[in-house]
Amino acid sequence: MLTAITGINWGDEGKGRMVDLLSQDYDIVVRYQGGNNAGHTVKNPRGKFVLNLLPSGILRPEVVCVMGNGMLIDPHHLDGEIASLREKGIEISPANLKISDRATICMPFHVEQDGLEEERLSKTGAQFGSTKRGIAYGYADKYMKKTLRMGDLLHLDENVKRRLATIVESKNLVMEGCYNAKPTDLEEMWAWCQKYAEIFKDYICDAGDYLDKADREGKKILFEAQLGALRDIDFGIYPYTSSSNVIGAYAPIGAGIPGHKLDLSIGIMKAYSSCVGDGPFTAELAMTEEEKDKLREAGHEYGAATGRPRRVGPIDVVASRYGVGCQGCDEVALTLLDVLDYMEKIPVVAHYQLADGTLTDRFPMGKALDEAKPVVEYLPGWHCDITACRKFEELPAEAQNYVNYLEKQIGCRIAYISVGAERDACIRR
């Protein structure tokens, strides 16, 4: 049984919370793409946790977690994240965490270059809103074959050091020539690799072989994505995207079992819209600044990885319908419905108006998206606390109508509704 849990919007939909909930039914949880540039916030009986690299299944001791070959891993950050979880009583060992030997390493010079380039772009207002974690530059070097992989840490011989020397030499042409920055020192990078080789040597393995055998043995595997469909490098709001494929179809590839197929795709959708970073975000045009401030505070909309205030707006069914299609969703989980408890009436972005006045229900790209304006409809609010509801029938009629309306608009069954941050604050339909 292979199941993917993916975001259908701009990210920050609550995937970590849903993985934490649903992982009780799975043997293995796999992260298949991305790096530490986004965070999954999970609140359960063991406490509140913010995960950047580790799969959310790590909070369940009976689950084995895998970091797939499609990931970009910063060993320094991973070491700190593991240490932080251990301080809170979470056990992490090679028995419950496996790292693909094919995963790309995010090196210190990737992080440095990210910061330098974003600073350069900001002088003309052309910045991307990068988290400055080195993600784009690590992935770029992956495709130029100019970085190391986690498996290289298992045999740091002269061949690997020669490769690293070539990489550092090439990177310094950019760091010194373009940014007038201090050159990267080869010996420092070699010592850095040796340090993390010692720390992670027992975790690194052929993750694809492990997952292939597990699937053939009938184990249940859950794939966890970072960000959402609108941040996918191919199908998102390019160039304001992540640097990897976040769509569910990529899950078996990024996990290490490209010949396997998904059995189930679960999309995660917020009850309203939020977005971190720059780029077109039509939904925010549908609210006044005062309305957005109230929604941001009600939803505690600040980035888990960066702490930055998120851009917010009403739920956008045009974008959500597109995301559901990209993810090939069989069913959807609607999160944070309780955040809307305070609203007398609930705005919904039902259509887009293009620059020529045309109304459309199709999510556009490029200039058309940049110029699109939201067409808003309003549904009655319920204006009461729904956090104690555990059955759909216990929700106020207005909340039920809101869910049914969204289900019809996006063309996919809403199977889960979260009504609070706690693990059990969820309705299964």
* ∠ CA 418-422-427, rounded to 5°: 30
Q: For 221, phi and psi rounded to 5 degrees?
A: -120, 130
Q: Is 13 in contact with 111 (CB distance < 8 Å)? A: no
Using alpha carbons, list the distances in angstroms from residue 383 to 177, 380, 387, 405: 59, 9, 12, 18
Q: In degrees to the nearest 10, what's the CA dihedral of 212, 214, 219, 220?
A: -50
Distance of CA 332 to the CA centre of its chain: 16
Which phi and psi angles does 362 have, rounded to 5°? -100, 135
Relative to beta strand 2-7, strand 221-228 is parallel
Phi-psi region of 223 (alpha: psi -120 to 50; beta: other; left: phi over 0): beta
CA distance 98 to 292: 41
Report the SS3 class of residue 346. Answer: strand
Please state, in angstroms and rounded to a whole number, the distance separating the CA atoms of residues 377 and 318.
13
Active-site annotation holds for 77? no
Q: Residue 174: count other Cβ atoms within 10 Å of its Cβ.
A: 15
Reference 270, options 3, 21, 11, 4; nearest CA is: 11
The half-sphere exposure of 61 on its side-chain side, counting CA atoms within 13 A, is 5
110 part of the active site: no
Of 12, 20, 316, 338, which one is the catalytic site residue?
12
Task: Quote the CA–CA distance of 117 and 120 in Å, as a whole number.
Answer: 5
Of 20, 40, 110, 114, catalytic:
40
Collect contacts of 181-186 with beta carbons under 8 A, ≥24 apart. Answer: 181/112, 181/116, 184/108, 184/109, 184/112
For residues 142 and 148, give the distance between their C-alpha atoms in angstroms, rounded to a whole number.
8
Active-site positions? 12, 40
